[in-house]
Structure 1
Amino acid sequence: MATEPIDDIEDWSKKLAPWRQDTLRRLAISTDLTDGDLDELLAMIKQAAGFNLANPAATPEPFVKAHFGGGKQKPVVLKGIANVENVNRLVPKAGLAFCPTALTVIYGRNGSGKSGFVRILRTACRTRVEKADKLKVLSDVYGGSTGPQAADIIIDEGSGDAPIAWTSGMTARPELMQVAVFDTLSAQLYVDGGNQIRYLPFGLALPHRLNAVCLKLKERIDAERATAVGNKVSLTAIAFPLQRNTKAQTFDRMLTKTTNDAKIDEAATFAPSDQERLDEIIAVLSAGASAVADLNALIGWVDAIASECETAATAYADASLATFTNLRETAVTARKTAQLSAGALFTDEPLPGVGCETWRALWNAARDYSVSEAYVGSDFPVLASGTSPAACVLCQQPLLDDGAQRMQRFQKYMDDTLDVAATKAEKAREDAAAALAPLTQLRAEGFTDRVEQVRQRDADLADAVASFQAAVIQRRTDAAARLAGEDSVPVPAFTSPHIELKALGQKLRDEKESLAKAGEADERDKLTSEKAELEDKKILAANRAKLVTRRDLLVTDAAYDKALGEVQTRGITQRANELVDTHLTSAVITQFDAERERFDIMHLKVGLSRKSGQTKAEFEIDPQTKLTKVTSEILSEGEQRALALAGFLTEVALTDGSGPIVVDDPVSSLDRDRSARVAERLAEEACERQVIVFTHDIIFFNELCTAAENRGIEPVTIALFGDKDAAGKIDPAGMVWKGLNVAKRIGKIKNDFAPLPKLLATSPAEYEYKVKHLYGRLRDTYERAVEEVIFRDIVRRGTDVIQTQLLRYVTLSDALAIRFHEGMTKANTHSHDNPAADTVPVPKPDEFLADISALEKLVEDLKTESQVAEAARPQMKPKK
């Protein structure tokens, strides 16, 4: 047995992650971990991997040598099988009781039910057979039972008998995994599948147990990851119409778990100004020569309307309107003042109204006629033409003195200061009315269409222009009304958009310049590239939520990656294999060779080679041939069985603890020599552990019992039988007669004779019948004594083995020969059928007991004489 490398494991464990140290500590206490343990370990791993846990895992406890104290498995004793139901043809409630120590041998002929019990143990305990269909246990295929297959397996772990309920297909209980089962089905696997050390010495088993835990945790992490992440990352992909190397698409492709919200916001923000620029570029790229002409026309209109708005804003401001009102009022007031003055001057005139508005119009018309038609070149009024009076321009009559004087008075009046002031005021009003801004652009027929063009670029500006137009037209109308003396109405407030229009004009000129440049290839490429950047940035901004979701998924997935890295088994497997090679491999190979030597199969060119594994160490049978054949296709059936037994016993010898072993028909296909070797080997193993053997071979049965007795072991034997109704019945009489040795036969005869003395008193005839049978058994015992006692089993019936080295024990003195002859003769006499006329009396009970005692004493003396003879012989020395 290899030394347990506790120090190596402890030193190595210090290099592991804290949760692994904690796991090793727990595995040192228990061979398995509960779901709660796994949950806690998983929480520790996830915390180390960066998961945000509401309840952090407990702090791991470092692994030290002291933890090994509870690591050993409790020794298990297999006490029996009970309450068997619906298994093969086994009788209901069938059961077997096993010897709790040493050796139990169950004998039965074919069909006696042995295989049914073995199949229960094979599925419940440790076996090399792993395929579920091979381990399936059937009910009686010829019977009518429909219930489940069930039984109780009785074990004792040191605190008394404890039943373990068994059903077909159930998971093996850890306690029963200490029980190793060998049968024909598993024998094939030992030959072709390799000798697998499933339960390593405790210290070596820890890394493999840790690997098993890692694999369980990996399954849990993978399952969680599939639910939490799965294919969700792919669902956050952003669909760009065209694949191109824009900044937006590059950012999308390069998004990682480290991308923060600020970077996402920076990459996925699309401002209104970005949309304006995109629209502008689209317009520029799609524009042609006609677009340039249209833009020129629009620029001209915007410039004109901006100038007109600026002028109108001043011309029709509130202050200007107030000025117009003042001009009108000043003119009216001045005229009234002049008229009052004229009324006072011309009261004696023949006609009234001199100085009124109508009269003034008449006077002005006459003056205009005079200077432009009647008296061109002469000042008005013309009173004389040479020496003659001038003709009146109104009545065409000569101006007499009265008329000339009246004309002079009228002219004097017109040249008067008040009238001049009134005329000047009226002239200022008239000039103001004539100078009113015409609003040519604002009242043009195409104004509305132009505003809509502006609206395409700036809706607010378009609204401002339209609003200003309505307001300024109303104000101009009001201005004209004020100057004309008409009624004035309230006018709306207004703000001139001329500054914004000038800015638009500049923007349009820039656009015009861009259009001009767009005709150049390089500039067009730049615009195309900028358009692509803006388009993809807009898509990215619309899918910002997907970016955040993907980033979060990548963070979670990275945490799962890190967690999976925590449960990687490669390093543990490598170290475990190193420990196995250091502490176990040589022991396995040495033990395997020793077992092959015991079974006389060293001539077979086979060996063991270790095979790496995550949760166990395997040693494969190597046929050491270049042929691509499995071992079972090379060796004979007998060699295969011997090789399989060697592998099984190697595994048993190097297994943790000293758990029971169950062996079914171990000598199938073996010759008698190897059968005897197997018997010796199993008897030897029975000195170390509980051994249970099932066999149908009576010779092997005798060999095994003899080998056990030679080692001081009293084997417990059970005889099974079956009939047409059921199998698995236990013969209450015990072992079959031919399976008993001399001592057991004598004991059997004594037990059978015990009730006969009373029978003699009630039925002499029945007594005679039964005592005659017992004398026949006594004769059989004498015959068996020749083989077993006198000739020391040198030659055994049914075998081809002659143990010549035991001849030195053979001796038979005359006295003992005579006693043997006399005893044998008496047994023959009372067992044979004597003639009816024969007067041989039937022996009384005391006489029969004396005959039994004589045989017992003869056997004792024969053994003593044999030992004395051996001691008296000179020691044999080998020839030189």
Structure 2
Amino acid sequence: MMASEPIDDIVAWSNTLSTWRQDCLRRLALADDLSDSDQAELLGMIKQEAGLALAEVPPTAIPFTKQHFNGGSHTPIVLKGIANIVGVNRLLSNASLEFCPKALTVIYGRNGSGKSGFVRILRTACRTRIENAATLKVLADVYGDGKGALSADILIDAGAGEVPIAWTPGMTAAPQLGQVAVFDTASAQLYVDGGNKIRYLPFGLALPHRLNAVCLALKAVLESEKRTAVGDKVSLTTIAFLAVRATAAQKFNQAVNKSTTDSAIEKASAFDDADDARLIEVAGILSAGTSAAADMSSLVTWVETITAECTTAETSLSDAALAAATELKGKALSAREAAKVSAGALFDDEPLHGVSSDSWRRLWRAARDYSVAEAYPGQAFPVLPTAGSDAECVLCQQPLLPDGAARMHRFQAYMDDTLDTAATRAEQAVVEAIAALPVFKQLTADDFAERIEQIRSRDTLLADTLVTFHQSVMVRRAEAAARLAGEAENDVAALGSTADAVKALASKLADEKAALIKAGDVEERLKLESEKAELEDRKILNANAAKLTTRRDLMVTDAAYAKALALVATTGITKRANELLDAHLTSAVVEQFDEERARFEIKHLKIGLARKSGQTNAEFEVNPQTTLTKITSQILSEGEQRALALAGFLTEVALTEGSGPIIVDDPVSSLDRDRSAKVADRIAEEAQKRQVVVFTHDMVFFNELCRAADECGIEPVTVALFSDLDAAGKIDPAGMVWKGLNVAKRIGHIKNRFAPMPKLYATSPADYEYEIKGLYGRLRDTYERVVEEVIFCDIVRRGSDVVQTQMLRFVTLPDALAIQFHEGMSRANTHSHDNPASDTVPVPKPAEFQAHLAELEKLVADFKTAKDLAEAARPQMKLKK
């Protein structure tokens, strides 16, 4: 149960809902004959009527606390008034009323003056017994266009200054206004009639059983919502596995409940690309035979070879290696050029050009080889003629003449020269580098493309990397050869690093190879089959993770509805309600009710309280100790009904914790004058404890209430309302009508009216004479009221059939005061009556009238002093007896 509204609104709503529920059940009984769509439409209509549509966001649940029952630690409020009223009945636009923040406010107005309009606003905003929405409805001006919005501000003070509470018809009641109780004719009927017996139940004690009615209505709504929200939807979250087996995934699927967390679902259903690859791998291992192990062995060998070639390529064809080849070739060319320069200086005079060129040096080396191997074995080249022998040229086969011998000697000296030797070594290094260029057998093999596809089936990225690497290796090897041959450099793509990835693949393939070999073992095969089953079921669980979450959420919702249904069970509430009633409906309630009835003299009805209790109601029947076959309002007189209702209302107010304000509208309707006076006394007494606002059209009761308030030491605030052809709810700025004023207020009124008289006397004697004559008339009225109120202490009041004989002891009329009264009354008569035109009675001057008014004030004070002296002397007189 939630306390998002004031308690009186909840009670009103619950009773409305009970009526609606009966109608709802009647309509649902006919629903079997409707189509599915019509049934759905009916359900939607019922939910909309109940204000419980599923689309609405539920209010935040607030547990009931003591203050929601108008007791406990609530902050007391003062009702300051109503302001800015717009569109309500015929009330004046922006009409307002101010209330006395303490004690008593009495608002008088004749029929149609607008009192009911103010009360209707207050009873919809504050606490009242009225629960029928139609009765509480506030109308616009039915004689106007009725199109404007109805609104008002209810002014309160909770200790921090005046605060307006905006009011509109049907709005959620403000919790603070739950402290304000309203009694009017409509609510009075509820204190009297309760079926076929007179029923009365204090407001707070009625709540538990009314809560039962709300709980039953909520239970029906909750069950309907549960069928819609949960129903058989859990069965739609079933997950179909390939086979029933004891895998972790299937166990988790079976164990899902309302407490299962999102993280647990995520963890249990986790399945990534690595898991998928492993599933494919395990399935492949299990489906493979002996030949697969051999094929894997061949692939492993190839990958290992490729790994070595990749490592070699990354070293021998790196950017640094290419730069080294360029540098090596450059050194050889530079050395040879240096040797050529040196040879040019030696052989410029030779008959043939080209000595020291490449072709010449090849010729020289060929001649040398021929000489040492065949022509002159064992002799150093070149063999030159000596003193004892001749020598032939190995090239022309003729004897070497001195010039030829000298030339051969110069040639040999050149070949032995350092520059040529260095150039030769550099050129040899280039030859060796060319010979040392690696040969990539596997990368250039015919089955490379086939092997790449085998790799691709396991690792697409690595396969693409190897293809790119292969292309780069071929380009870079050709570039290396070109640079060693002396060709111009070309930009080449980066080689990248592949060896580690291929090495990792080799290791993985070795593991697969081992797994394939193990697969032949029975025990190992069972392990692989178990792993495959786990992976397969986890993959299915992963694909259906949303179903797991949906099922969990449905279980959470189902549990919430189960808990909610348990919370609206009525058995405990009924039991506790009865316990509370037995424990707390003590003699205090009965005594208070009896006391209130005694105050209004209705104990002759022989009424007593008798508790009746059921599952959804608990009532205290006003037991007339006889069988009644008619409703109470048809048995009791209207006056008795109003007195009984007031007794119930005041009992309820008296037993309610706190001192919240009360508003009483027309409390003495149909009451005789005797009971009217008793009601005035009771209200004045209550005004000593709390703020009281009374609306009345009865002038006699108004005077009785002011008299009772005065006796209690309360100065009531009075407001006079009136209406005209334009609007109602207008406040008379002059205050109460003259006949509603007591002596003191009449004297105050006369003083206010006299204030401008001296100025008027100086400016217009004629107007002054007219006005002063009227004031003497008011002075005469006041003398007459002095007789009733001051001299005879309201023992006999005009308009009342009650004689307050107990007040006779306060009546005293000393001779001197009687003479003063007669003189003052005579003067007032003289100056208020029509006098002769002969001007034998002069018009009193302002100072004279002021003196006459002062004499009246003093006379009233002297009478009160005389009474006090007589009362003080009375006990002494008794002692003398």
Choose 614-623 or 857-866, whichever is displaced more.
614-623
Within 5 Å, which residues of 2 pair with 1:376-395?
none
Q: Is there any run of 5+ residues in structure 1 with no aligned partner, and where? A: 1-19, 33-59, 237-259, 263-548
Flag the 1:554–1:711 CA change in 2: closer, same or farther, 3 A. closer
Alignment match, 1:773: 774
What is the CA-CA distance between 1:564 and the residue it aligns to?
2.1
Flag the 1:124–1:614 CA change in 2: closer, same or farther, 3 A. farther
- Determine the C-alpha separation between the residues in 1 that align with 2:213 and 2:576: 14
Within 5 Å, which residues of 2 pair with 1:593-608?
593-608=594-609
Alignment match, 1:189: 190
* Amino acid in the other structure paired with 2:631: V
Flag the 1:235–1:595 CA change in 2: closer, same or farther, 3 A. farther
SS of the residue 1:775 aligns to: helix
Flag the 1:64–1:71 CA change in 2: closer, same or farther, 3 A. closer
| TM-superposition CA deviations, 1:257-288 (whole Å, max 9, x none) | xxx979xxxxxxxxxxxxxxxxxxxxxxxxxx
The answer on whether the counterparts of 1:623 and 1:631 sit within 8 Å (CA) in structure 2 is no
Flag the 1:185–1:62 CA change in 2: closer, same or farther, 3 A. closer
What is the CA-CA distance between 1:88 and the residue it aligns to?
1.1
SS of the residue 2:604 aligns to: coil
Within 5 Å, which residues of 2 pair with 1:435-474?
none
* Amino acid in the other structure paired with 1:112: S
Alignment match, 1:492: none
What is the CA-CA distance between 1:584 and the residue it aligns to?
3.0
| TM-superposition CA deviations, 1:638-659 (whole Å, max 9, x none) | 0000000000101111113111
- Determine the C-alpha separation between the residues in 1 that align with 2:76 and 2:84: 24
| TM-superposition CA deviations, 1:742-763 (whole Å, max 9, x none) | 1111111111111111111111
Instruction: Confirm whether residue 699 of structure 1 aligns to residue 704 of structure 2.
Output: no
Alignment match, 2:634: 633
- Determine the C-alpha separation between the residues in 2 that align with 1:840 and 1:712: 43
* Amino acid in the other structure paired with 2:826: T
| TM-superposition CA deviations, 1:837-862 (whole Å, max 9, x none) | 13211111111111111111111111
Flag the 1:759–1:613 CA change in 2: closer, same or farther, 3 A. farther
Flag the 1:869–1:261 CA change in 2: closer, same or farther, 3 A. closer
Flag the 1:75–1:615 CA change in 2: closer, same or farther, 3 A. farther
What is the CA-CA distance between 1:119 and the residue it aligns to?
0.8
What is the CA-CA distance between 1:605 and the residue it aligns to?
2.2
- Determine the C-alpha separation between the residues in 2 that align with 1:864 and 1:123: 49
What is the CA-CA distance between 1:209 and the residue it aligns to?
10
What is the CA-CA distance between 1:587 and the residue it aligns to?
2.1
Flag the 1:783–1:616 CA change in 2: closer, same or farther, 3 A. farther
Q: Is there any run of 5+ residues in structure 2 with no aligned partner, and where? A: 11-60, 238-252, 256-549
Flag the 1:773–1:31 CA change in 2: closer, same or farther, 3 A. closer
SS of the residue 1:808 aligns to: helix
Alignment match, 1:571: 572
The answer on whether the counterparts of 2:7 and 2:178 sit within 8 Å (CA) in structure 1 is no
What is the CA-CA distance between 1:150 and the residue it aligns to?
1.2
- Determine the C-alpha separation between the residues in 2 that align with 1:673 and 1:110: 22
Flag the 1:74–1:615 CA change in 2: closer, same or farther, 3 A. farther
The answer on whether the counterparts of 1:155 and 1:161 sit within 8 Å (CA) in structure 2 is yes
Flag the 1:686–1:779 CA change in 2: closer, same or farther, 3 A. same
SS of the residue 1:822 aligns to: helix
The structure 2 residue matched to 1:198, chosen from 203, 221, 227, is: 203
Within 5 Å, which residues of 2 pair with 1:160-239?
160-193=161-194, 194-199=199-204, 218=219, 221-222=222-223, 224-230=225-231
- Determine the C-alpha separation between the residues in 2 that align with 1:791 and 1:843: 30
SS of the residue 1:620 aligns to: strand
Within 5 Å, which residues of 2 pair with 1:660-679?
660-679=661-680
Alignment match, 1:150: 151
| TM-superposition CA deviations, 1:41-97 (whole Å, max 9, x none) | xxxxxxxxxxxxxxxxxxx99999999999411111111011111111111111100
Flag the 1:558–1:853 CA change in 2: closer, same or farther, 3 A. closer
- Determine the C-alpha separation between the residues in 2 that align with 1:70 and 1:627: 36
What is the CA-CA distance between 1:600 and the residue it aligns to?
0.5
| TM-superposition CA deviations, 1:550-593 (whole Å, max 9, x none) | 99999986874465234423223322331232123432211111
The answer on whether the counterparts of 2:9 and 2:172 sit within 8 Å (CA) in structure 1 is no
Alignment match, 1:332: none
SS of the residue 1:603 aligns to: helix
Within 5 Å, which residues of 2 pair with 1:550-561?
560-561=561-562
- Determine the C-alpha separation between the residues in 1 that align with 2:181 and 2:567: 35
SS of the residue 1:88 aligns to: coil
Within 5 Å, which residues of 2 pair with 1:192-591?
192-193=193-194, 194-199=199-204, 218=219, 221-222=222-223, 224-230=225-231, 560-561=561-562, 563-591=564-592
- Determine the C-alpha separation between the residues in 2 that align with 1:807 and 1:694: 32
SS of the residue 2:701 aligns to: helix
| TM-superposition CA deviations, 1:725-781 (whole Å, max 9, x none) | 111000000000000101111111111111111111111111111111111000000
SS of the residue 2:585 aligns to: helix
The answer on whether the counterparts of 2:153 and 2:164 sit within 8 Å (CA) in structure 1 is yes
- Determine the C-alpha separation between the residues in 2 that align with 1:721 and 1:684: 28
- Determine the C-alpha separation between the residues in 2 that align with 1:63 and 1:747: 52
* Amino acid in the other structure paired with 1:196: L
Structure whose alpha-carbon radius of gyration is higher:
1
Alignment match, 1:351: none
SS of the residue 1:727 aligns to: coil
Flag the 1:127–1:29 CA change in 2: closer, same or farther, 3 A. closer
- Determine the C-alpha separation between the residues in 1 that align with 2:102 and 2:650: 18
The answer on whether the counterparts of 2:8 and 2:127 sit within 8 Å (CA) in structure 1 is no
Choose 650-659 or 792-801, whichever is displaced more.
650-659
The answer on whether the counterparts of 2:152 and 2:168 sit within 8 Å (CA) in structure 1 is yes
| TM-superposition CA deviations, 1:398-437 (whole Å, max 9, x none) | xxxxxxxxxxxxxxxxxxxxxxxxxxxxxxxxxxxxxxxx
Alignment match, 1:159: 160
- Determine the C-alpha separation between the residues in 2 that align with 1:759 and 1:579: 72
The answer on whether the counterparts of 1:660 and 1:690 sit within 8 Å (CA) in structure 2 is yes
Flag the 1:565–1:850 CA change in 2: closer, same or farther, 3 A. same
Alignment match, 1:526: none
Flag the 1:741–1:619 CA change in 2: closer, same or farther, 3 A. same
Flag the 1:563–1:686 CA change in 2: closer, same or farther, 3 A. closer
Instruction: Confirm whether residue 657 of structure 1 aligns to residue 658 of structure 2.
Output: yes
The answer on whether the counterparts of 2:115 and 2:695 sit within 8 Å (CA) in structure 1 is yes
Alignment match, 1:686: 687
What is the CA-CA distance between 1:791 and the residue it aligns to?
0.6
- Determine the C-alpha separation between the residues in 2 that align with 1:847 and 1:64: 68
What is the CA-CA distance between 1:808 and the residue it aligns to?
1.6
- Determine the C-alpha separation between the residues in 1 that align with 2:580 and 2:116: 39
What is the CA-CA distance between 1:213 and the residue it aligns to?
9.5
- Determine the C-alpha separation between the residues in 2 that align with 1:102 and 1:735: 18
Alignment match, 1:125: 126
- Determine the C-alpha separation between the residues in 2 that align with 1:819 and 1:28: 61
The answer on whether the counterparts of 1:99 and 1:716 sit within 8 Å (CA) in structure 2 is yes
Alignment match, 1:726: 727
Alignment match, 2:114: 113
Alignment match, 1:787: 788
What is the CA-CA distance between 1:798 and the residue it aligns to?
0.3
Instruction: Confirm whether residue 811 of structure 1 aligns to residue 812 of structure 2.
Output: yes
The answer on whether the counterparts of 1:195 and 1:648 sit within 8 Å (CA) in structure 2 is no
The answer on whether the counterparts of 2:78 and 2:661 sit within 8 Å (CA) in structure 1 is yes
The answer on whether the counterparts of 2:793 and 2:811 sit within 8 Å (CA) in structure 1 is yes
- Determine the C-alpha separation between the residues in 1 that align with 2:156 and 2:66: 31
Alignment match, 2:415: none
SS of the residue 1:778 aligns to: helix
* Amino acid in the other structure paired with 2:783: Y
- Determine the C-alpha separation between the residues in 2 that align with 1:64 and 1:96: 33
Alignment match, 2:139: 138
- Determine the C-alpha separation between the residues in 1 that align with 2:143 and 2:71: 49
* Amino acid in the other structure paired with 2:201: Q
* Amino acid in the other structure paired with 1:714: E
* Amino acid in the other structure paired with 1:723: D
What is the CA-CA distance between 1:229 and the residue it aligns to?
3.4
What is the CA-CA distance between 1:195 and the residue it aligns to?
3.0
Alignment match, 2:91: 90
- Determine the C-alpha separation between the residues in 2 that align with 1:572 and 1:651: 22
The answer on whether the counterparts of 2:70 and 2:657 sit within 8 Å (CA) in structure 1 is no
Flag the 1:551–1:586 CA change in 2: closer, same or farther, 3 A. same
